[in-house]
A and B are shown apart, each in its own frame.
Chain A
Amino acid sequence: MAAGTVTSPLIYLNNAATTWPKPQEVLDEVARCLHTPFFEPGRSTTGTAVDYPAEAREALSVFFNAEKPDHFVFTQNATDSLNLLIHGFAKNQGAPFHAVTTELEHNSVLRPLHALEAQGALSLTTVPFRDSRVTLQGIREAIRPETRMVVMTHGSNVLGSLQHIRPIAEYCAANDIFLIVDGAQTAGQVPVNLSEIPAGAFVFTGHKALFGLPGIGCLYLQEPGAVAPTRQGGTGTDSRSLVHPQDMPVKFEAGTPNYPGIASLLAGIRYIERVGQDTILTKCRDLTGRFISGIDHPDIILYTPAPDLPVVSFNIRNLECDEAGYILAGAYNIITRTGLHCAPLVHDRIDGGKGCVRVSFSYLNTPEECHRAGEVVREVADGANR
């Protein structure tokens, strides 16, 4: 064996990016989906296969307590959903308007907004966070008479803070402002009841806490008339017409969908429902608490002392974050995420823009993995500061 070869078992702590492993029933459903010809309503005559898109929309409407299954639109991921909504809303406006976002956002929000700002399609106000949260008061202070859209996260991917979205959604609804909520970090992680959040749209992805495959995302659009489609193509319906259909969900879905991805999302939701959303939340919070207790060390700078989500961000004194990540992976086989986590404005505030190490747990992590990871991070902090 070569000197220095890692023999420790893999500990995967990058679940806020993509959960791994996936539940066995997700893998089984994807295999089942691929073993039979796809059911493609309007496109093929296959009669025996499962209609995954229809079943998944029904399952999503129950899971999120949303009224209209057909208002769930499948996309590639949360970034794709956000682009569809942000660019589609701006296109529908037809004239420059004012938009509001926050410092907590991922580049999947910031970059589309800044691209539109550069084109002169909108002017943008970015609301700062305080104690890891953006408040209704902060949003209200940014609103102008010409504000038409607010885009904000439901949960920070760096700070793990859940945002109190309901009062913001109610305020936006009462003032005719289209609110897009980025639920990439919350869908599947905490209970989300869309009947209690009157947002214009809720965005999420399949490959994080919903345990699906990468490549399947989704959005729920309350009022389809607020957003213009930015893509056209085959839908399997109204094929005689050269104009793209305007009924949901095909208004925003052109081309062959990602059937295996949708099957994985469906199986992921069924898995969460079988285990119980509260059970998942309780375990993930327990894992997070254990890890935070385990990294109590004078040379560890913790940015998330009490996160709502299973996300812990920190730095080790005397090590750059990517050095710490390299050591954790190369010497201990512990996979983390280092750097800016595509959320540069958060890092400007917490670590001077240098980035940090993030560990993030899933329901399928174990207390032993948590304990070991805490022990290792302390050991690295000791070794780097002797």
Chain B
Amino acid sequence: MREYLLESPLTPEFLAFLAVFGTVREFPHLKRPFFSFEQEDFISIKGFTGDTTVEVRYRKEFADLTSDYFHLLLFYSREGEPGIRKMREIEESIREKMRMRMPR
């Protein structure tokens, strides 16, 4: 688990970008509106909407493959559709390494 202090809060656009790759859940009716993101085998993210701190967890078995994944998502989210395509390629490349590692 890592806690990141960001320069600015995660934006609704970034959460929409995340939703392409996994499940985003938003809870706007809580005292501090909360969101979470889950991409199976890759990462999960938790945070409060408008906050600059987020908690990111990696699946232990694949942490060496996915530890930069959050940074990649942040970077490519700025590029729109080309960023989605690039992240898809990265995702598939990591998944292939995961498959090779899984017991047969």
Interface residues of A (CB under 8 A from B): 2-4, 319-320, 322-323, 326-327, 330-332, 379-380, 382-384, 386
How many Cβ-Cβ contacts under 8 Å join chain A to chain B? Answer: 41
**Once the chains bind, are A4 and B29 in contact (CB under 8 Å)?**
no
**Once the chains bind, are B32 and A323 in contact (CB under 8 Å)?**
no
Q: At the interface with chain A, which of B43-51, B62-70, B82-90?
A: B43-51
Give the CA-CA distance A319 to B25 in the complex, in Å. 10
Q: Looking at the complex, which one of A3, A319, A383 makes contact with B29 (CB distance below 8 Å)? A: A383
Answer yes or no: B34 CB below 8 A from chain A CBs: yes
Q: Looking at the complex, which one of A3, A320, A332, A380 makes contact with B51 (CB distance below 8 Å)? A: A3
**Once the chains bind, are B27 and A3 in contact (CB under 8 Å)?**
no
Q: Which of B20-73 contact A (CB under 8 A)?
A: 25, 27, 29-32, 34, 36, 46, 48, 50-52, 55
**Once the chains bind, are B51 and A327 in contact (CB under 8 Å)?**
no
Give chain A residues whose Cβ lies under 8 Å from the Cβ of B25: 323
**Once the chains bind, are A331 and B30 in contact (CB under 8 Å)?**
yes
Task: Tell me if A's interface is mostly helix, strand, loop or mixed.
Answer: helix
Can you identify 25 A-B contacts, CB atoms within 8 angstroms? A2-B52, A3-B50, A4-B50, A320-B36, A322-B46, A323-B25, A323-B46, A326-B46, A327-B27, A327-B30, A327-B32, A327-B34, A330-B48, A331-B30, A331-B31, A331-B32, A331-B48, A379-B31, A383-B27, A383-B29, A383-B30, A383-B31, A384-B27, A384-B29, A386-B29
Give the CA-CA distance A4 to B48 in the complex, in Å. 8
Give chain B residues whose Cβ lies under 8 Å from the Cβ of A3: 50-51
Please name 6 further chain A to chain B contacts, defined as beta carbons within 8 Å, in addition to the given A4-B32, A331-B48, sorted by A numbering. A3-B50, A4-B50, A323-B46, A326-B55, A383-B31, A386-B29
Counting chain B CB atoms within 10 Å of each CB, which of A4, A320, A386 scores highest?
A4
Q: Looking at the complex, which one of B30, B51, B52 makes contact with A384 (CB distance below 8 Å)? A: B30
Give the CA-CA distance A331 to B32 in the complex, in Å. 6
Give the CA-CA distance A249 to B48 in the complex, in Å. 52
The 7 residue pairs across chains A and B that have the minimum distance between CB atoms: A383-B30, A331-B32, A383-B29, A386-B29, A4-B51, A331-B31, A326-B46
Shortest distance in angstroms between A355's beta carbon and chain B's nearest beta carbon? 13
**Once the chains bind, are A332 and B31 in contact (CB under 8 Å)?**
yes
Shortest distance in angstroms between A146's beta carbon and chain B's nearest beta carbon? 34
Interface residues of B (CB under 8 A from A): 25, 27, 29-32, 34, 36, 46, 48, 50-52, 55
Q: With A320-B36, A326-B55 as known contacts, state yes or no: A380 contacts B48, CB within 8 Å.
A: no
**Once the chains bind, are B30 and A323 in contact (CB under 8 Å)?**
no
Residue of B nearest to A385 (CB): B29
Residue of B nearest to A384 (CB): B27
Give chain B residues whose Cβ lies under 8 Å from the Cβ of A327: 27, 30, 32, 34
Residue of A nearest to B31 (CB): A331
Give chain B residues whose Cβ lies under 8 Å from the Cβ of A379: 31
**Once the chains bind, are B36 and A380 in contact (CB under 8 Å)?**
no
Give chain B residues whose Cβ lies under 8 Å from the Cβ of A2: 52
Give chain B residues whose Cβ lies under 8 Å from the Cβ of A386: 29
Give chain A residues whose Cβ lies under 8 Å from the Cβ of B55: 326
Residue of A nearest to B46 (CB): A326
**Once the chains bind, are A380 and B50 in contact (CB under 8 Å)?**
no
Give chain B residues whose Cβ lies under 8 Å from the Cβ of A4: 32, 48, 50-51
Give chain A residues whose Cβ lies under 8 Å from the Cβ of B51: 3-4, 330
Shortest distance in angstroms between B61's beta carbon and chain A's nearest beta carbon? 17
Shortest distance in angstroms between A318's beta carbon and chain B's nearest beta carbon? 8
Give the CA-CA distance A4 to B29 in the complex, in Å. 14
Give the CA-CA distance A3 to B52 in the complex, in Å. 9
Shortest distance in angstroms between A30's beta carbon and chain B's nearest beta carbon? 30
Give the CA-CA distance A3 to B29 in the complex, in Å. 17
Give the CA-CA distance A322 to B34 in the complex, in Å. 13
Give the CA-CA distance A382 to B31 in the complex, in Å. 10
Give the CA-CA distance A322 to B47 in the complex, in Å. 12
Give the CA-CA distance A2 to B55 in the complex, in Å. 18
Give the CA-CA distance A347 to B46 in the complex, in Å. 23
Give chain B residues whose Cβ lies under 8 Å from the Cβ of A331: 30-32, 34, 48
Give the CA-CA distance A332 to B52 in the complex, in Å. 17
Give the CA-CA distance A4 to B51 in the complex, in Å. 7
Give chain A residues whose Cβ lies under 8 Å from the Cβ of B36: 320, 323
